[in-house]
Chain A
Amino acid sequence: MRGATSAKWVVGAVIVAMSATACGGGDNKADGGSAGGTFRFGITEPTAIDPVNAQESEGIVIARALFTGLYDTSTDGKLIPKLAESGTPSDDGKTWTFKIKAGTKFTNGEPVDAESFVRGWTRVSAKASASDVSYHMADIAGYEDLHSGKSDKFAGLTAVDATTLKVELSIPDFEFVKKTAHSVFSPVPKVAGAGDNKAFNDQPIGNGAFKMTSPWQHNTSITLVRNDDYGLQKAHLAKVEAKILNPANGSTLEYQGFQSGQFDYARMPTPQLTAAKAKYDPQGEWISGDFSGINYLNIFNQNAPFNNADARKAISYAIDREAIVKGVFQGLQKPASAFLPPSFADVYQAGVCTSCVKQDVAKAKEYAEKGGLKPGTVVNFGYNTGAGHEEWVQAVAQQLKDVLGLDVKLDGKPFKEALATQQDKATSGLWRQAWTADYPTADNFMTPLLSTTGIGEDPATGKAQGDNRGRYSNPEFDKLLVTAKATKDDAARAALYKQAEKLAVDTDQGVIPLWQRTQYRLVNSKKFKDIKMDFYEDPTLAEISLK
C-alpha cells in the first residue's frame, strides 16, 4: 500500500473515491492532440521522488514520470508491458525471466539494460538505504542477506545478458510480475549511487517520459520537462509543474487553485464535493473512478469482546452503511460488501460479506446475544485524527450505541500514537483503517492484512509489527493464500482467493468492510484531453495532450 495517501495527517481532507467509467489504461495514442503545453497540478511535499523510497501517491506520480519499469498497471488491474517484451515464470513459480526491450537509454545516455534493473533493485534493498518500500522485494531470494547488510549483492537477481533479467524467488509466486509495475522496481543508472545519494534523491536521472532539469524545490515545486529521447511512446506535454502545497489543507488548496485557474487537475475537500460536482460535471470537468482500495474497520480478533465471530458480525450488521453514505458522504461514496475491490474483476465477489449488505437490527442483536456482546459493553473505537474521519466515525459509533446499546468510546489519536496503540497486544475494540493497493493482486490485500504472517508479532514485546493489527489468524486461510500464490492457472488461483476472502471476511468476519475507494477529480478538459487517473490515482501525465 502506498502510505494511505489521503491519510497524510491532513486536516479535514478526505479524498476518496472514483468511478469505473474513466479509467484509461489501454491505448491512448492521443491522435489529434498537439504537443506542448504546461500541465499544472498540486501535490503535497512527498517523502521521496527517487524510486528508492517513493511511497505515497505524491511521490509515486513523480517517480513514475521519471522512470519506466518493466510493466505498468491499468486502473482495472491489467498489466501493460513497458520495457518488458516478455515475463515468464518457471513451472514452479520460483523463477521469473524478463526480456527487456533493447536500445533505450537513461537521460544521461547510459543504456537501460538488465544490469540497470539489478542495480536499481539492489539499491532499494541495501541496508544503507533503509527504504520504506524495499519490503516489496522481500520474496526475492537473497533479500534478507542484502537487507541486513550481510551481503551487498542481491543473490536472486541475475543479468543474464543485456536484455535478459532472471529473478529467483524464495517462495513460488505466479503473480510476481504484477509487482514489478510498482515504481520501486525501476532501473537506475550508475550515477544513482547509494540510496542516500542526496543529489540523486533530489534530481533523479531516469528513463521515463519526463525528466528534471532542475532539482526538487522542497516545499515549493517540482518541474518536469518532456524527455525527447524517451525510448517508448513520447509524452505530449512540454512541461509538468507540480506545485507543492501545505498538507494542512492540500485538497482545499487544489480545489481553490483549480477554481482560480492555477491548476489543471485537482482534488477537493469532501464537504465541497456536492457543490463542485454540480458546477463542474455539466462542463465535463469532473471525473471519477473506483480504485483498488478499501475502507474498513479493523476489529481486534484476539481480545474480548470481539474474540468471536458472532460478536464481530453483530457489529457489521449494526452499521447502516447506506445511511452514512447518504447523510455524511452526501452519496459520493459506495458501501462495500466485499474486502477486495471491484477493480479486481477476476476475484471480486459483490456481497461476499453477508453482514455488510444491509443493516439488520434483528440479526445484529441476535449475533450480539450469541457472541456475548451485552448492552453496556465498553467498546474502544480508535481513529487517527486530522484526516477527516471525525464525522463518520461518530456516525458509526452512534449506530452501535443505538442498535446494540454498546458504550462506544471514541479515541482519536495522531498517527504515531495511533499506530502504537494498534500494535499493542492488549488493545481491544475497533479501529478505523484504509488500504490502497500497491499492485493489482488479491494477495496485496490478503497477505498483509489478514494472514498470520501479516501480524508480524514481535516475540519480545508482543507488538504487531505488520499491517494485520486486528490479528485475524486462521491457519486454513493462510494455507489457501500460499496455495493460491503458487497456482499457475489464473482462474484456479482466482477461485482460491475467492474462497479465502469468503472465509476471512464472511465466515470469520475478521474485518468489517465499510466503503469502497472512490475518487473524484476536477480536470481542465477545456484545454487538455485525455486527463485520466491511473492505478495510483494520479494524473496520467504521459498521455495528456493539448486540445
Chain B
Amino acid sequence: MSELTKSTAGAGPAQTAPAAPAEPAIARVTQWGEIRHRFLANKLAVIGLVLVALLFLVAIFAPLLSPHDPYAQDLTNTLQGPGGDHLLGTDALGRDQLSRILYGSRIAVVVGLASIFLACVIGIAVGALAGYFGRGTDSVLMRIADVFFAFPLLIGAIVIIIVMGRGVTPVIISLAVFSWPTVSRLLRSSILSVREADYVLAARALGANTRRIILRHILPNSIAAVMAYAAFNVGGAIVAEASLSFLGVGVSPEVPEWGNMLAAAKDFMGVKDYLWTYPSIAIVLTVLGFVFVGDGLRDALDPKLR
C-alpha cells in the first residue's frame, strides 16, 4: 500500500482498529485553542470525556467505592441475584459483583492506556523514520510493519502470552506488539503529506536541519492524527484485553477483570443473566467514552467531516 501516490493509510485491522478518516488530519500547532473550543462544543465528545473521567475516578478510588472485598468468597452465598447486601449480586464463588466491576476498571485503564501508549511510542518512532527518510529505510521498516500488521492481533497476542505467561504485563506487551504498525502507517502517510507542505519547505529553505524539521515541524502536526487514533483505540485495546480473558488467556481468573467475569458468566446464559449484563455495560460505557473522545478529537482536528 505504501507505493500509492495517494495514501490509503488509516484503514486498520477490522476487529480492533477502526478506520481513521482517509485523509490525515493536519492541524497547525497554533490552533490548539481553537481545537479545544471545537472539542468542547461537541456534545458527544464532552459525554465521552465525562465517561473517561468517571472511569479514572472509579479506578483510582475503587477501594473506597467498593462495598466488599472483590476477592472475598462466600460459598454460602453464591449466585445471589442483584439486591440486598450485594447490589449487583454475587458470582459463582459468592464474590460481590459490584466490587469486582469497580476494581475491574483498574485493569481496563492500565491495559488500555499502557498498550496504546507503547504502540504509539514504537509506531511513532518507526513511522517518523520511515516517513522522513523514505527509500530504503522506508521499505525495510514498512515491510516489518506489514509482517506485524498482517498477523491476526488476538492470535499473536495469545502466542506471546503463552510464551511469557499470564498477567497484566504480557497482555500489554502483546497488544502493543501487534498494534503499532497502524500507528506507523498513519504517521508515515501523514508525514508524507506534510513533508511537502509549504511551512516545511519554508523551514528547509531557511536552512533548518533534518532533525529539527522532524521534531519541530513535522511531528507536532502529524501527531494530531495519531492522537485521535490513540484516543479512539484505547477502547479497542480494552476490548482486546477483555477478549483475551474471554478466551481464557488473559489475566488470572481470580483477578477482578471484566473479560474474566464475562468468561465465567457465559455458561450461565439464560439462567443467571445478571452475571454477564453488568460487566458488559461497564465495558460498553468505557469503550464508548474513549470512542466519543477520539471522535470528538478527530472532528475538532478536521472540522470538515462533521
Contact = CB atoms under 8 A, between A and B. Distances in A.
Interface of A: 11-13, 252, 269-272, 274-275, 320, 323-324, 326-328, 330, 385-386, 388, 390-391, 394-395, 397-398, 410, 412, 414, 417
B267 A410 contact: no
Contacts of B93: 327-328, 391, 394-395, 398
B270 interface: yes
Interface stretch (B48-56, B131-139, B204-212, B245-253): B245-253
A326 B75 contact: yes
19 contacts: A11-B248, A11-B263, A11-B266, A13-B267, A269-B267, A271-B268, A272-B271, A274-B271, A326-B76, A327-B76, A327-B93, A328-B75, A328-B93, A385-B249, A388-B267, A390-B253, A390-B264, A391-B93, A414-B162
Given A271-B92, A412-B252, A395 B75 contact: yes
A414 to B, nearest CB: 7
A12 B254 contact: no
Contacts of B252: 410, 412
A285 to B, nearest CB: 18
Contacts of A385: 248-249
A327 B268 CA distance: 15
B68 interface: no
Interface in B153-196: 162, 166
Nearest to B72: A398
Contacts of B263: 11-12, 390
Nearest to B266: A12
Given A271-B267, A327-B78, A330-B79, 9 more contacts: A252-B267, A323-B75, A327-B74, A327-B75, A386-B248, A398-B93, A410-B253, A412-B166, A412-B248
Nearest to A273: B271
Nearest to B158: A414
A47 to B, nearest CB: 22
Which of B74, B77, B268 gathers most chain A CB within 10 Å?
Answer: B268
A397 B271 contact: no
A397 B254 contact: yes
B267 A394 contact: no
A500 B78 CA distance: 39
A277 to B, nearest CB: 12
B18 interface: no
Interface of B: 71, 73-79, 92-94, 162, 166, 247-249, 252-254, 263-264, 266-268, 270-272
A274 B77 CA distance: 16
Nearest to B246: A11
Contacts of B249: 385
A271 B271 contact: yes
B248 A394 contact: no
The majority secondary structure among interface residues of chain B is loop
A394 B93 CA distance: 8
Contacts of B254: 394, 397, 410
A39 B306 CA distance: 61
A528 to B, nearest CB: 26
Nearest to B271: A275
Contacts of B92: 271, 327-328, 391
B121 to A, nearest CB: 31
A272 B268 CA distance: 6
Contacts of A388: 267
A141 B245 CA distance: 50
Nearest to A398: B73
Contacts of A395: 73, 75, 93
Contacts of B166: 412
Contacts of A252: 267
A353 B238 CA distance: 47
B79 to A, nearest CB: 8
Contact of B76 (A13, A323, A391): A323
A385 B252 CA distance: 10
Nearest to B92: A391
B72 to A, nearest CB: 8
Nearest to A327: B75
A412 B267 CA distance: 19
Contacts of A13: 267
Contacts of A326: 75-76
Contacts of B77: 327
B75 A391 contact: no
Contacts of B272: 271
B253 A412 contact: yes
B86 to A, nearest CB: 14
B270 to A, nearest CB: 7
A457 B187 CA distance: 56
Contacts of B266: 11-12
Leading 6 A-B pairs by shortest Cβ distance: A327-B75, A269-B267, A271-B267, A390-B253, A323-B75, A327-B78
A391 B271 contact: no
A270 B266 CA distance: 11
A270 B267 contact: yes
A6 to B, nearest CB: 13
A323 B264 CA distance: 20
A95 to B, nearest CB: 50
Given A12-B263, A385-B249, A414-B162, A394 B73 contact: yes
A230 to B, nearest CB: 40
B270 A272 contact: yes
Contacts of A410: 252-254
Contacts of B162: 414, 417
Contacts of B94: 327
A69 B302 CA distance: 77
Contacts of A386: 248
Contacts of A323: 75-76
B267 A324 contact: no
A336 B253 CA distance: 26
A252 B166 CA distance: 27
Nearest to B163: A417
A412 B264 CA distance: 14
Which of B77, B263, B271 gathers most chain A CB within 10 Å?
Answer: B271
A12 B267 contact: yes
Nearest to A408: B254
A406 to B, nearest CB: 14
A323 B263 CA distance: 23
A172 B98 CA distance: 62
Nearest to B76: A327
Nearest to A397: B254
A547 B235 CA distance: 57
Contact of B264 (A272, A327, A391, A398): A391
A412 to B, nearest CB: 7
A320 B75 CA distance: 10
Nearest to B75: A327
Contacts of A330: 79
A546 B120 CA distance: 66
Contacts of A270: 267
Contacts of B248: 11, 385-386, 390, 412
